[in-house]
Amino acid sequence: MRALDALPRSERETSMGSTQFTVPRNVSAVATCNRLLAALPDKEMNRLYDHLEFVYLESGREVCREDEKSIHVYFPTTAIVAMLHRRADGSALEIGAVGCEGMVGAATFLERGTFGTAVVQFEGGAYRADTAAIEDLCHQGGHLQPLMLRYTWTFLSRVLQSSANDRHWSVEQRLSCWLLERLDRLPTNELKMTQEMIAAMLGVRRESVTEAIGKMRRDGVVRCRRGSITVLDRGELETRSGECYLGKSWTRSMR
């Protein structure tokens, strides 16, 4: 595996910009950074390890395009990648997100393109592997392919549930759920995201998000600064999300 100090100079400088992080140096440490990798038996993780390289994903970077087979798959560690559906008018709607619990590019192994255009929403680290190398490992048998298929089923189940229930949930419930799902994947309670960007991801008017966040701020649930939202009371946020938020339990079916 190529660690950060083995990357080309330009990529290394970008990676070491404003964010401080530690790159795991051995196979066991790598597996702890991504829950999908952690679910692999040691023997298979050792085989996969040689095909992984650490990359730093900048916010806004497009890593996969909708309906196109990707040449790489990504196992995020601290980055969060949003799966977006591009509309005819050029706008984008978020259909799901991937963080340290999963992988980007799993649909490739269904002989289809990705579920949406994958764009980095929160910058951070990820492990990247060539799709061809992963395919070869899957052909060797073992747990890797079944694990990826279970993850894909879990991801699609979550997308379908959200799609079916969005019409019944209020903007405040959906916003609460969105914030909680990001907190589950980030090492901090601060989300660097504008209200306009959140509104675009949820497919609602910015004024609706502003109203919901304003109510949360007045109640002491969040603190807002320009370009960032800090969650102060996670318990209250979970209460406000109602049944919209499934918690980390939605990933249990992968095990």
> Are both 179 and 153 inside the same structural domain?
no
Question: Could you tell me if 38 and 143 lie in one domain?
Answer: yes
Instruction: Quote the tokens at residue 2.
Output: 């190529």
pTM of the model: 0.84
The candidate with the shortest Cα–Cα distance to 67, out of 92, 86, 89, is 86
The DSSP secondary-structure symbol of 184 reads T
Statement to judge: residues 160 and 173 lie in one domain = no
Residue 4 has a pLDDT of: 45
Of 111, 133, 164, the residue at which a domain comes to its end is 164
CATH number at residue 95: 2.60.120.10
At 183, which amino acid appears?
Answer: L
Nearest to 126 by CA among 218, 198, 59, 175: 59
131 and 10, same structural domain? yes
How far apart are alpha carbons 115 and 122 in whole angstroms? 19
Whole-angstrom distance, CA of residue 237 vs CA of residue 158: 20
Please enumerate in sequence order all residues whose Cβ is within 8 A of that of 132, keeping only pairs 6 or more positions apart, or say none: 71
Q: Which domain holds residue 111?
A: 4-164
pLDDT at residue 187 in the model: 87
The CATH number for 230's domain is 1.10.10.10
Helix (H) or strand (E) holding 73: strand 72-76
Same domain, 149 and 98: yes
| Residue 80 shares a structural domain with residue 43 | yes
13 and 128 fall within a common domain: yes
Give the contacts of 2 (CB within 8 A, at least 6 positions apart).
Answer: 53, 54
Residue at which a domain ends, from 136, 164, 192: 164
Do residues 8 and 116 both lie within one domain? yes
Q: How many folded domains does the chain comprise?
A: 2
**Are 137 and 202 part of one and the same domain?**
no
Q: For each of the chain's 255 residues, which pLDDT tens digit applies? A: 544 433 433 333 344 444 555 566 677 777 778 999 999 999 999 999 999 999 999 999 999 887 777 889 999 999 999 999 888 787 888 989 999 999 998 877 666 666 789 999 999 999 999 999 999 998 898 899 899 889 988 888 888 877 776 778 899 999 999 999 999 999 899 999 999 999 998 989 999 999 999 999 999 999 999 999 999 999 999 999 988 887 755 454 445
Are 106 and 217 part of one and the same domain? Answer: no
Q: Domain ends where: 144, 164, 184?
A: 164
- Asked if 17 and 79 sit in the same domain, the reply is yes
**Is residue 160 domain-shared with residue 186, that is, in the same domain?**
no
Beta strands at 72-76 and 92-98: parallel, antiparallel or unpaired = unpaired
Residues 6+ apart with CB under 8 A from 244: 165, 169, 173, 174, 176, 177
